[in-house]
C-alpha cells in the first residue's frame, strides 16, 4: 500500500498550561463545571446543546399529549371529550409547542453542540450570550405554558389571525401569553442566530474555507440568516398585537380601518422562512448521515450547498401562497404561484443528490440511516402535495381542509422531526459515549413511520372530501368517521414509537453503565471534524486546533487512494484522533448572569398582562443581570493577557472582548 502522505495523519494531543482563576465581579464567580448546579451557570456550548435537546424532548411529550387529546376528540363523530373552548386552546398550543418549543430548539440543540465542533472551534463566539439564548427560550416556553393555569391558553391558532385575536373576540389572557411568550422565544432565536453566524464565519479552523464546511454547518448557517431576518418581522407583528390588546392601539381594529391582512402579511413574511428554518436543519443532518452509511462522499457538494442557499433566498418570495383565498388579486396570486413552484427546484436537487449519494454505495441500514431514508421518502410526499398548493385554483379548494394539515405534517414531522431522530441516533455516541440500542431503534423507527402514515396519509382523503380543519367536531352524516378513526389510531402508534425512543434512551444508558463498551472517537467511520476528538467530547473540544485541507478532512485522514486508484485505509480513527487528554485548557468561565437576565423577561410579560407593579421586581432582576454581566469579565483579564500558550482560543479572545462589549450591548 504505497500512499504518499505529506502531512502527519495523527492529530496532536497534549496538555495546555493551567491558568490560575481569579474571580472578579459583583459576586464570586461560579467555579464548578461538574454537579447539577453547574448546568445553571454553564457557558459550554455542549452542555447548552444538551439542555436544548432535553428541553425540546420534554415539550415534544407535551405537544404530543395535546395531539392525542385532539385525536381522542375527533376519533368519532360528535366528539364530546373536549369543550369547544378547550379544543381551540389545545390545537393552538399543539401547533405553537411543536414549532417553537420542539423543532426549533431541537435544531438549536444540534447547532449548538455541533457547529463549533464541525468548524474546529473551542466554543461559540459569545459563550455567555449562548447561555442567555437558552435560558431565554426556556423562560419563554414556561411563560407560554403557565397560561394553562392563568385563565386559559392561547386559542387563536398558531397563526393568530386578526381580528380573531382582538380583545373583543379573544377576551381571555391567552393571546397575550401567545404574543409575549413568542416575543421572548424570538429574542432567544435572534441572539442565537447572531452568535452562530459569527461562530461559523469567524472561528473556522485553519484551512476550512466556506466550501470545505460540512453540509450540516452550511444548512445551519442558512437557517441562522433566515432567523436573523425573519425574527424582526414577527417581533413587529407581535408588538402590534400586544399594543392593540394592552394599550388600545388600532392596528387590527377593523372598525377604525385597521387591516387584518397586514397581520397575515407580517406573519407569513416571517412564517414562510420559518418553514425553511424548520426543515433545513433536518436536511443538514441527513446530508451527514447518508454519506456516512453509504460509504460515499455526498454527491454534488456544491449543488447541495447552492440549493440550500437558493432555498434560503427564495423562501422570502413565496409567503403569499398562504393567503391565496384572502383576495390578493390575480397578479399577486399568479406571481406567488410561480415562485412557489420554483422553490420546488432546489428542494428537488437535494432529494436527487441524496439518492445519487446512495446510488452504488455500500448501504448500511442501521437506525440513523433508516430515519434518514424515511425523511427522503416522507418529505418527497409532503413536497409533492406542496406543489399542488402552488396551483392557486386547487389551493383555493384545499385551504382550511385537512389536506393542508396532511401536507405540513408530512414536511414537518416526516421531514424535520424524523431528520432530528436520525441526528439523535447518529450523534448519541459522540455526546454520551455510548450508542443507542439498535433493536429498540428499529422498533422506534418502524412504529413512528407506520403510525405517521396512518395518521397523516388519510388526512389527504379527509381534506379532499371537504373536512374542515380547526373544527371541534363533525357530524356522523358527514361520512368522515372511518378515516378519522384510522387517523386517531395512528396517533397512538406514533405515541408508542415515542415511548420506544424513551425506553431506548433508558436501556442504552443502563447497559452502558453495567458493561461499558468503548465506542471510540469515531464509531460510524464518519467524515467531519467532530469525530476526530474523543467520545464523549472533552470539555475543551480539541486538544489542538485541527488544520483542514479537504472537504471531509477527517475521512481523508483515514482513507486514501493507492496507486491503482483503489480507496484503502490509511489509518484507524483510534490511532489518529485526539484523545482529549489535554487537561487545563483555558476556557470561558461559567456565569450566573445569563440566567438572571433571562428570568426578568417573563416577569415583564406578567407585568404587561396583569399588573404593572410587577415591573419593579422585573426591573430589579434585569438590572442585576445586566450590571452583573457587564461588570464580570467573561474571563479573568489577567489570565487572558500575556500568557503565551492558552490554546488557539478565539473563543477566549472574543469572550474577553465581549465582556467589554456587553456593558453597552
Stretch that binds another protein, among 225-233, 286-294, 379-387, 495-503 (CB under 8 A): 225-233
Give dist(CA 80, CA 464) in Å, integer. Answer: 25
Residue with Cβ nearer another protein (212 or 389): 212
Find where cell 456587553 sits.
662
Measured distance CA(87)–CA(447) in Å, rounded: 27
Q: At closest approach, how far in Å is the CB of 128 from another protein? A: 13
Strands 567-569, 559-561: pairing is antiparallel
Contact flag: residue 664 with another protein (CB under 8 A): yes
Q: Please count the residues of the chain.
A: 665
State in angstroms the smallest separation of the CB of 400 from another protein.
23
**What does residue 560 show for φ and ψ, rounded to 5 degrees?**
-155, 175
Q: Which of residues 362 and 664 has its CB atom nearest to another protein in the complex?
A: 664
143 close to 181: Cβ distance less than 8 angstroms? yes
Residue of 369, 373, 508, 495 lying closest to 444 (CA atoms):
495
CB of 248 to another protein, least distance (A): 4
- Asked if omega into 34 is within 30° of 0 (cis), the reply is no
Angle at 54 between CA 275 and CA 294, to 5 degrees: 65
98 preceded by a cis bond (ω within 30 of 0): no
Max Cα–Cα distance, the chain, nearest Å: 82
Per CB under 8 A, the list member of 233, 376, 406, 454 interacting with another protein is 233
The region of 279-287, 332-340, 488-496, 639-647 touching another protein under the rule CB under 8 A is 639-647
| Per-residue binding letters, 256-295, with another protein (x by CB under 8 A) | xxxx--x---x--x--------------------------
Check residue 545 for interaction with another protein (CB under 8 A): yes
357-360: long-range pairs with CB below 8 Å, 24+ = 357/290, 357/291, 357/294, 357/296, 357/297, 357/298, 357/299, 358/290, 358/294, 358/296, 359/299, 360/296
228 near another protein, judged by CB under 8 A:
yes
Closer residue to another protein (CB): 198 or 505: 198
Residue 197 contacts another protein per CB under 8 A: yes
Is 588 a residue that touches another protein (CB under 8 A)? no
- Give strand pairing partners of 468: 401
| CB of residue 446 to another protein, shortest distance in Å | 43
- Residue given cell 489542538 in the structure block: 544
Q: How far is the CB of 14 from another protein (least distance, A)?
A: 10
Closest C-alpha among 630, 578, 618 to residue 184:
618
Say how many residues touch another protein, by CB under 8 A: 68
Angstrom distance (rounded) from CA 166 to CA 168: 5
Tell me if 654 contacts another protein by CB under 8 A: yes
Q: Determine if 638 is a binding residue for another protein (CB under 8 A).
A: no
By C-beta, is 9 or 567 nearer to another protein?
Answer: 9
CB of 580 to another protein, least distance (A): 17
Distances 337 to 91, 355, 391, 658 between C-alpha atoms, Å: 29, 28, 6, 46
Contact (Cβ atoms closer than 8 angstroms) between residue 652 and residue 586: yes
Stretch that binds another protein, among 192-200, 286-294, 471-479, 513-521 (CB under 8 A): 192-200
* Residues 116 to 175 in contact with another protein, rule: CB under 8 A: 125-126
Interaction mask 72-101, another protein, x per CB under 8 A: ------------------------------
Find the shortest distance in angstroms from Cβ 132 to another protein: 13
Q: How far is the CB of 656 from another protein (least distance, A)?
A: 6
Query: Binding of another protein at residue 35 (CB under 8 A)?
Result: no
Q: Which three cell numbers stand for residue 267?
A: 406573519
Compute the least distance from the CB of residue 22 to another protein, in Å. 16
**List of residues contacting another protein (CB under 8 A):** 7-8, 12, 125-126, 190, 193-195, 197-198, 201-204, 206-208, 228-233, 235-237, 239-240, 243, 247-251, 253, 256-259, 262, 266, 269, 544-545, 547, 630, 640-645, 647-650, 652-654, 656-658, 660-661, 663-665
Amino acid at each position: 500500500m504505497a500512499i504518499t502522505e505529506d502531512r502527519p495523519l495523527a492529530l496532536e494531543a497534549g496538555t495546555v498550561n493551567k491558568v490560575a482563576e481569579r474571580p472578579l465581579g459583583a459576586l464570586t464567580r461560579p467555579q464548578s463545571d461538574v454537579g447539577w448546579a453547574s448546568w445553571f451557570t454553564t457557558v459550554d456550548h455542549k452542555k447548552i446543546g444538551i439542555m436544548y435537546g432535553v428541553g425540546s424532548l420534554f415539550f415534544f411529550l407535551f405537544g404530543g399529549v395535546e395531539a392525542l387529546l385532539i385525536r381522542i376528540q375527533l376519533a368519532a363523530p360528535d366528539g364530546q371529550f373536549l369543550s369547544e373552548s378547550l379544543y381551540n386552546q389545545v390545537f393552538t398550543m399543539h401547533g405553537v409547542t411543536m414549532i417553537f418549543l420542539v423543532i426549533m430548539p431541537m435544531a438549536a440543540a444540534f447547532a449548538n453542540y455541533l457547529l463549533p465542533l464541525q468548524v474546529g472551534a473551542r466554543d461559540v463566539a459569545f459563550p455567555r450570550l449562548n447561555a442567555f439564548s437558552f435560558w431565554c427560550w426556556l423562560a419563554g416556553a414556561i411563560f407560554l405554558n403557565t397560561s394553562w393555569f392563568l385563565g386559559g391558553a392561547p386559542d387563536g391558532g398558531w397563526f393568530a389571525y386578526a381580528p380573531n385575536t382582538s380583545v373583543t373576540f379573544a377576551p381571555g389572557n391567552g393571546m397575550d401569553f401567545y404574543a409575549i411568550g413568542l416575543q421572548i422565544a424570538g429574542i432567544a432565536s435572534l441572539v442565537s442566530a447572531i452568535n452562530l453566524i459569527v461562530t461559523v464565519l469567524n472561528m473556522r479552523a485553519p484551512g476550512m474555507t466556506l466550501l470545505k464546511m460540512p453540509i450540516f454547518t452550511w444548512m445551519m448557517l442558512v437557517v441562522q440568516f433566515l432567523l436573523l431576518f425573519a425574527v424582526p418581522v414577527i417581533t413587529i407583528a407581535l408588538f402590534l398585537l400586544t399594543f392593540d390588546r394592552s394599550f388600545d392601539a388600532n392596528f387590527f381594529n377593523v372598525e377604525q380601518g385597521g387591516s387584518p391582512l397586514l397581520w397575515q402579511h407580517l406573519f407569513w413574511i416571517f412564517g414562510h422562512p420559518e418553514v425553511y428554518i424548520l426543515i433545513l436543519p433536518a436536511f443538514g443532518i441527513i446530508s451527514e448521515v447518508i454519506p456516512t452509511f453509504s460509504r460515499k462522499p455526498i454527491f454534488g457538494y456544491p449543488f447541495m450547498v447552492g440549493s440550500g442557499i437558493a432555498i434560503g433566498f427564495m423562501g422570502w418570495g413565496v409567503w403569499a401562497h398562504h393567503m391565496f383565498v384572502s383576495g390578493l388579486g390575480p397578479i399577486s396570486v399568479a406571481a406567488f404561484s410561480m415562485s412557489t413552484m420554483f422553490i420546488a427546484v432546489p428542494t428537488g436537487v437535494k432529494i436527487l443528490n441524496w439518492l445519487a449519494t446512495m446510488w452504488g454505495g455500500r448501504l448500511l441500514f442501521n437506525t440513523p440511516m433508516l430515519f434518514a431514508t424515511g425523511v427522503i421518502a416522507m418529505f418527497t410526499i409532503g413536497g409533492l402535495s406542496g406543489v399542488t398548493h402552488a396551483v392557486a385554483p386547487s389551493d383555493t379548494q384545499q385551504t382550511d381542509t385537512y389536506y393542508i394539515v396532511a401536507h405540513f405534517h408530512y414536511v414537518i414531522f416526516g421531514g424535520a422531526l424524523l431528520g432530528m431522530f436520525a441526528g439523535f441516533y447518529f450523534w448519541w455516541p459522540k455526546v454520551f459515549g455510548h450508542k443507542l440500542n439498535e433493536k429498540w431503534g428499529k422498533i422506534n423507527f418502524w412504529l413512528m413511520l407506520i403510525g405517521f402514515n396512518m395518521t397523516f396519509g388519510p388526512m389527504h382523503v379527509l381534506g379532499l372530501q371537504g373536512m374542515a380543519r380547526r373544527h371541534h367536531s363533525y357530524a356522523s352524516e358527514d361520512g368522515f368517521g372511518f378515516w378519522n378513526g384510522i387517523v386517531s389510531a395512528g396517533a397512538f402508534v406514533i405515541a408508542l414509537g415515542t415511548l420506544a425512543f424513551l425506553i431506548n434512551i433508558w436501556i442504552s444508558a443502563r447497559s452502558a453503565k453495567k458493561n461499558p463498551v468503548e465506542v471510540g472517537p469515531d464509531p460510524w467511520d464518519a467524515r467531519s471534524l467532530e469525530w476526530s476528538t474523543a467520545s464523549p467530547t472533552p470539555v475543551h473540544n480539541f486538544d489542538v486546533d485541527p488544520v483542514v485541507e479537504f472537504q471531509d478532512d477527517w475521512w481523508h485522514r483515514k482513507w486514501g487512494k493507492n496507486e491503482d486508484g483503489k480507496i484503502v485505509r490509511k489509518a484507524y480513527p483510534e490511532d489518529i484522533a485526539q484523545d482529549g487528554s489535554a487537561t487545563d485548557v483555558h476556557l470561558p468561565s461559567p456565569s450566573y448572569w445569563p440566567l438572571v437576565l433571562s428570568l426578568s423577561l417573563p416577569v415583564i410579560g406578567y407585568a404587561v398582562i396583569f399588573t404593572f407593579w410587577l415591573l419593579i421586581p422585573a426591573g430589579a432582576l434585569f438590572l442585576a443581570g445586566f450590571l452583573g454581566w457587564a461588570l464580570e469579565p467573561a474571563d479573568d483579564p489577567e489570565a487572558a493577557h500575556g500568557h503565551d500558550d492558552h490554546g488557539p482560543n478565539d473563543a477566549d479572545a472574543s469572550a474577553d472582548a465581549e465582556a467589554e462589549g456587553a456593558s453597552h450591548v
